Structure 1
Amino acid sequence: MPLLKVKDLNATTQVWVWEITETFDELFQSVALKDVSLARVENMKSEGHQKGFLSVRRLLMEAGYTDFDLYYDEFGKPHLREEARSKKQESRENTGAKHISISHSHDFSVIVLSDVNIGADLEILKDKTLKLAPRFMDVSHLANLTAEDQLIKATVVWGIKESVFKIKNEIGISFKDDIFESEFNLSDKKCSVELRFNNKVEHFDIVFDFIKNYVFVCAFEAS
């Protein structure tokens, strides 16, 4: 089951989800890679990482782009080339997205395409996240929850902080000391966040959802 879903997060933002069921060879033969990407794949020691990398390229193809349209800046943040966006804007199928965020975890990959700056994260539910929760969040937010919901909420909070960091991508940001999520219920599937860093307060809107035993989170700069 390759392309699992395409979902609108808002009027200008779409998430594309890929479930990785293919072999490495099947994925490798289905994409065209520029030389730098081919070198990256060849140097990856884990087949899981290789398949995650290749499945992201398949998602780009599903969205009308290719690996040749993607590049990374000096901080490792992905971008779509201007000429690729212009071609999409000329297409009747959809407009050219200005921003992209990428994440993959184990058997799933996601890309988010948007007209606004976004950060996305995908996390599998694992006990280790809950054990590490005191290092990255206010654990009082887990009070009065079942053990299962504590794990889910801790994973959502980790994804929230990863997503905000992907937008800002600044050295020195502390997940626990600088990024503060508002109180929320898992059924809300949204919350707000403050980033208090370098004597400045910035606000972000968060949406999250669940894909099997994974948590998907996307952060938007608040307007």
Structure 2
Amino acid sequence: MPFFQKIVVDAFTNVYVWKISESFDELFRAVSLKDISLTRLETMKSESHKKGFLAVRMLLQHAGYTDYDLYYDAFGKPNLKDGTHISISHSFEFSTIILSNKNCGIDLELRRDLIKKIARKFAEEPFVYHCDENSSDYVSKLTVIWGVKEAVFKVRNEVGISFKDHIFVSPFEMEAQNTTALLDFNELKIPFEVYFTEIENYTLVWLWEKEL
């Protein structure tokens, strides 16, 4: 089975990555699903989404959990019964989860030039208007910014949050593999510690709320 990588972030935080090369049937036979998960799986039309869903369950098993330990709250946020924080992401060939004692979020994105066309809809103006679109790391940086904002929203999925107007990513260099972010929404001002890396043609971002 293609367990791809475990990233030990700190003593209480681990990221797990699965590269999906199995067929749907192989994955389905390898996991045990509760009834509500079976029902959810049956409603998925895309085989890619189905395999991503099952690969997440493979990662849970690899980390010592099962689908029976996982539940979703009223806002669709995943939780584990033992109180460990979890966040989940899937993109085409990969699925990933983060487990931590901190309120955390994770996002995985395929890097594509298409992101240039939508940059002004989610990225801060200083970045979009003052960076060279033809530079070698422009798409990489945009993908990190998008991933950060997706991950922040997974942590604090408040109704009305705008990626462009309420989530701000501090300037960073790709070599650093870390930055910070801020959610500024209504009465909330929450800073985040951010880390990122690239896996093949994908960008992986994880973060958590910083202690004040």
What TM-score bracket applies, with the shorter chain setting the length? over 0.9
Tell me the residue number matched to 1:204.
192
CA distance in 1: counterparts of 2:97 and 2:135, whole angstroms: 30
Tell me the residue number matched to 1:60.
60
- 1:130–1:155: 8 Å Cα contact kept in structure 2? no
Gapped regions of structure 2 (runs ≥ 5): none
Q: Which moved more, 1:18-27 or 1:138-147?
A: 138-147
CA distance in 1: counterparts of 2:136 and 2:55, whole angstroms: 30
Tell me the residue number matched to 2:161.
173
CA distance in 1: counterparts of 2:191 and 2:165, whole angstroms: 15
Tell me the residue number matched to 1:6.
6
TM-score relative to the length of structure 2? 0.95
TM-score relative to the length of structure 1? 0.90
Amino acid across the alignment from 1:16:
Y
Shift of 1:146: 4.0
CA distance in 2: counterparts of 1:148 and 1:56, whole angstroms: 32
Tell me the residue number matched to 1:111.
97
CA distance in 1: counterparts of 2:56 and 2:108, whole angstroms: 13
Amino acid across the alignment from 1:66:
T
CA distance in 2: counterparts of 1:165 and 1:103, whole angstroms: 13
Amino acid across the alignment from 2:98:
V
CA distance in 2: counterparts of 1:148 and 1:70, whole angstroms: 40
Gapped regions of structure 1 (runs ≥ 5): 86-97
Shift of 1:139: 4.5
- For residues 1-223 of structure 1, the aligned pairs below 5 Å read 2-82=2-82, 98-141=84-127, 143-144=131-132, 146-223=134-211
Q: List per-residue Cα deviations over 1:12-33 (Å, max 9, x = no partner).
A: 1100000000000000000010
CA distance in 2: counterparts of 1:104 and 1:2, whole angstroms: 15
Count of matched residue positions in the alignment of Structure 1 and Structure 2: 209
SS in 2 for 1:187: helix
CA distance in 2: counterparts of 1:16 and 1:202, whole angstroms: 26
CA-based RMSD: 1.3
Q: Which moved more, 1:199-208 or 1:105-114?
A: 199-208
SS in 2 for 1:163: helix
Shift of 1:136: 0.2
CA distance in 1: counterparts of 2:136 and 2:30, whole angstroms: 38
Q: List per-residue Cα deviations over 1:31-89 (Å, max 9, x = no partner).
A: 0100011111111100000000000000000000000000000000000013xx6xxxx
